[in-house]
Amino acid sequence: MKTRSSLVVLGALFPVTSAVAEDWQTLFDGKNLAGWTTLIEKAPPGTDPDGHVVVRNGVIDMYANTPAEAKVPFGSLIHERKFSRFVLKLETEWGERKFSPRRDAIRDAGLLFHIADEPRTVFGWPESVECQIQEGDTGDIMFLGTRGITWLHPDPAHAPEGQGEPGMLPEDGGVPVITGQNSYVGRFPVADKLKGWNTVETLVQADETAVFKINGVIRSRLAAIRDAKGEPLTKGRIGVQLEGAEVRYRNIAIRELSEPLRAASLYASLSAVRGTANSTLHLPVRNPGTAEVPAEIRIFGKDAASFRVENPPSDPLKPGREMVLEIDFKPTGKAGRYSAGLQIGPEETGVFVILQGLALDALEGENEPPLERVVHSLGIPLDVGGPALKLGTDAPVIGASKPATTFRRAGDGPVKITPLARFSPPGNYPFGWSAGGEDHAIGALEDSAKIPDAHQRLFPPLADGSHSVEFTPEADVFSLFIRPKDHAIGTDPARHPSKLAQPVRVFLVPALQGRLIKDALLVCFEEASNGDYQDSVFLVENLAIAGPQ
């Protein structure tokens, strides 16, 4: 028999890739630059006084007529129209010549999207997101005054050499990160050619997701795109760069997209004990568009063999309809984090979901996963203090933890608590809030007498069968507690004294399973004394730290 199936949907439905598409539109006719504006360093917009941008033989040829000894300015061509949801394709080829100040550097250019009306410049470029076009690095990600979620190599010390932070596709084991405003993420496997034409393709869904494909190969992904003010960056203009090396562009075309298929989450996170029954999760997917979408299932990536979809759909998903996929995880190897990708339907009309599996060799003790592995499986970009199982209980803070003992509501409305993980001895564990010398239980983690792995899994069930609980505290300032068996563990040592210096670790949670969140904390209780802090892990929303001040 399978373990108890779960449906955990944290947040609104998350659009991932494209749905119903319009016809392709040509943005460059091969004859002139109608619809494009030149932005050349130190030159008025719309001017190119030294003729660095040339249209000839059906291509845009950057620096074609520039003298070889020249020191050249950099610049961009910006299209006049704005786009939000689209697939953009172009072909690019390197020329032989390079110019000062990059005469001795590798050849470099780029494709920009979501450029604002009057963008401020970042390193001389318009504020935007860039699909890098560079020798060996085409498809890298640059955030020019913008930011977003992408995925990094889980072991940077063993990542490939190269520029920028080391990226890795999530289906191959990449871990999430919220980038800085001027971040560069690269060091992916090479997908471009140094000779001949390369095809560059970007699939962009407003501020929600983007995929960069080079010569038909998916090279990088990003999500939750934000502008310099932190607001969703939903649309903008398209641009291509000239950056000191002769480069050519041709066949620039775009296809605008309507609203995409929507999955309940960008992630499907499961856990299982190796050698036992499958772990199962139910994931709703719906079609909000106006045309049916084929629903073929494809699982790929590093650990594809450990995941499957039971009874995959055979009929297209009709407009306005929803289907529920039953996703199974059965680890094929040793304990650890398993990664794969689930594509539902074609790339341009379907939906992509990141599959994460957390495998245990056996229950409890040294078989339990480190907290870092837990948060990575849940799609939380967070430094918890390192990859070790035992993180220690003496240091006031570890990683990005905060010295929090008491809390207050961050805004109007109730506080919401969702158990994200539990790796503890079995038992029914009440939890809640404390104030004025009293504990107020609001829920309890389920006893494993009913569900065998209830105490050793992601998304542990509550005793009443729900997945979360909400409460409105009667006090302005309060602490949190959990009661395993005959003792209580609390965030406030004045209310719940402990032999441990730090019985609880608290972290700010900036994102979860591919979506940005605000006013959320990860509260991690240590039941024993080894400092693994994954005995009971809760996401608490609408919560702010009150003390210590």
User: Could you say which DSSP state residue 457 is in?
Assistant: E
Domain shared by 316 and 432, yes or no: no
CA distance 27 to 87: 12
Note the pLDDT of residue 270: 97
- 69 and 188 co-located in one domain: yes
| Together in a domain, 218 and 86 | yes
Identify the pLDDT of residue 452: 83
Count of Cβ atoms closer than 10 Å to residue 96 Cβ: 7
Assess whether 515 and 405 both reside in one domain. Answer: yes
The residues, ordered by sequence, that sit 6+ positions from 245 with a Cβ below 8 Å of its Cβ are 62, 63, 94, 95, 97, 98, 99, 102, 107, 108, 109
pTM of the prediction? Answer: 0.94
pLDDT at residue 122, as a whole number = 62
Question: Do 247 and 311 have their domain in common?
Answer: no
Residue 217: beta bridge partners?
A: 214
If asked whether residues 90 and 41 sit together in one domain, one would say yes
Q: Are residues 398 and 538 in the same domain?
A: yes
| pLDDT at residue 448, as a whole number | 86
Range of the domain at 59: 25-256
pLDDT reported for residue 453: 86
How far apart are alpha carbons 142 and 460 in whole angstroms?
38
Nearest to 429 by CA among 356, 493, 484, 379: 484
Q: Please report whether residue 5 resides in a domain.
A: no
pLDDT of residue 20: 39
Residues 296, 422, single domain; the answer is: no
Tally the domains of the chain.
3
Longest dimension (CA), the chain: 82
Residue 486 has a pLDDT of 79
Give the pLDDT confidence score for residue 4 in this predicted structure: 36
- For residue 271, the SS3 value is strand
Q: In this predicted structure, what is the pLDDT of residue 119?
A: 55
Q: Report pLDDT for 120.
A: 59
Residue 188 lies in a domain: yes
Distance between CA atoms of residues 526 and 533, nearest Å: 5
Q: Kindly give the confidence (pLDDT) of every residue in the chain, 549 residues in length, as a single tens digit, with 9 standing for 90 and above.
A: 333 344 444 544 333 333 334 589 999 999 999 999 999 999 999 999 999 999 999 999 999 999 999 999 999 999 999 999 999 999 999 999 999 999 999 999 999 999 987 655 666 789 999 999 999 999 999 999 999 999 999 999 999 999 999 999 999 999 999 999 899 999 999 999 999 999 999 999 999 999 999 999 999 999 999 999 999 999 999 999 999 999 999 999 999 998 889 999 999 999 998 767 678 999 999 999 999 999 999 999 999 999 999 999 999 999 999 999 999 999 999 999 999 999 998 888 889 999 999 999 988 778 899 999 999 999 999 999 999 999 999 999 999 999 999 999 999 999 999 999 999 999 999 999 999 999 999 999 999 888 888 999 999 999 999 999 999 999 999 999 999 987 899 999 999 999 999 999 999 999 999 999 999 999 999 998 899 999 999 999 999 999 995
- The answer as to whether 11 is a domain residue is no
Question: Domain with 328 in it: what CATH number?
Answer: 2.60.40.10
In terms of Cα–Cα distance, which of 423, 263, 212, 395 is closest to 335? 423
Nearest to 292 by CA among 323, 255, 324, 326: 323
* Boundary of a domain, candidates 362, 396, 421: 362
Q: Do 314 and 404 share a domain, yes or no? A: no
Residue 250 sits in the same domain as residue 386: no
Residue with tokens 């961050």: 410
Alpha carbon of 128 to those of 39, 175, 483: distances in Å? 14, 24, 49
Which CATH number is 178's domain given?
A: 2.60.120.560
